[in-house]
Chains A and B, each alone.
Chain A
Amino acid sequence: MQNGSHLIPAVQGLTITGDTQSGSTYDLIVGPGRAWSENGDTGAAGTFSRASLPFALVDRNQNCVHNGGLSFPYNAAAVSIAAYQVTAEACALHQFDVWGQLAATYDAHGVPDAVALENAHAAEVGNRMPTKPLSALATDHPAAGLDLAAFGSGITPRR
């Protein structure tokens, strides 16, 4: 569902897909995203908003999660094709990039317990632990003598 610029999946956490297509070994996690408008999203087909949200493909019976994003223009009556990209994972042994476009369908309707979902999402976001850049650890604790370089030694976006 949409609350302002926030997209809130009614079902979060691990979704067992039950997909038995040949070679498919993934379950699914969909996370909250955002919606916005861009000038280029108005054309002959009408005026659209743009949605983007994170998702994760979860290996069955294996310790790996593949993280990606999904984006698509939509309005009250229609949706375009959806573009997706998977660019990171939480394991060393099963790394790959995936991207593409898929046909999408859209059925605008009311969401049961919408207010409860909105409130739950707002509470979850509001109660998150405060975040700072790692560099602030040394400035917040100057007497600790921290060597911050040691935390990221050998770490790259790929490894």
Chain B
Amino acid sequence: MTSYGVVCNGVNYVAGGTSANKGCQTRYGAHAFCQDMRLPSCSTAKSAFVGLSMARPVQDFGPGVPNLDLKGYVPEMASSGNWRTCPATPAPSRPRSGPR
């Protein structure tokens, strides 16, 4: 794990972080530029995006939104036999290689 921590009340609490640059672990010690180390969140971002994106239409249109068939709203899906029973929130699948 390169870096982890908790954000609480506007403070970033970083594990292993006795100073700002000590919170990013590598196989050979702390990374020299922890605050500028680029850590794209990949599947974490996709998961958060999907959840938030679904929360808003549920807020606006009610709890039935996740069970609506997408083919009713996307013409290309309606014309394909592969999407006949795909609701807005199908069962989750495991990403091929998720972030850490």
Contact = CB atoms under 8 A, between A and B. Distances in A.
A157 interface: yes
Chain A interface category by residue count: 35 or more
Contact of A54 (B4, B16, B32): B32
Contacts of B12: 129-132
A77 interface: no
Given A63-B98, A88-B25, A92-B100, A129 B11 contact: yes
Nearest to B41: A90
A152 B13 CA distance: 13
Helix, strand, loop or mixed for chain B's interface?
loop
Given A63-B42, A134-B13, A136-B13, A88 B97 contact: no
A133 B38 contact: no
Interface string B84-100: 00000000000111111
Chain B interface category by residue count: 35 or more
Contacts, number: 138
A97 B26 CA distance: 10
A38 B40 CA distance: 34
Contacts of A32: 33, 36
Interface string A60-84: 0011110101000000000000000
Contacts of B39: 65, 67, 90
A62 B5 CA distance: 25
Interface of B: 1-2, 4-18, 20, 23-28, 31-33, 35-40, 42-43, 95-100
18 contacts: A54-B32, A54-B36, A56-B38, A65-B38, A69-B32, A85-B28, A87-B26, A90-B100, A92-B97, A97-B27, A129-B12, A133-B15, A134-B6, A134-B15, A134-B17, A137-B13, A140-B11, A156-B1
Interface of A: 29, 31-33, 52-54, 56, 58, 62-65, 67, 69, 85, 87-94, 97, 125, 128-134, 136-137, 140-141, 151-152, 155-159
Given A65-B40, A152-B15, 4 more contacts: A63-B99, A88-B24, A91-B100, A136-B13
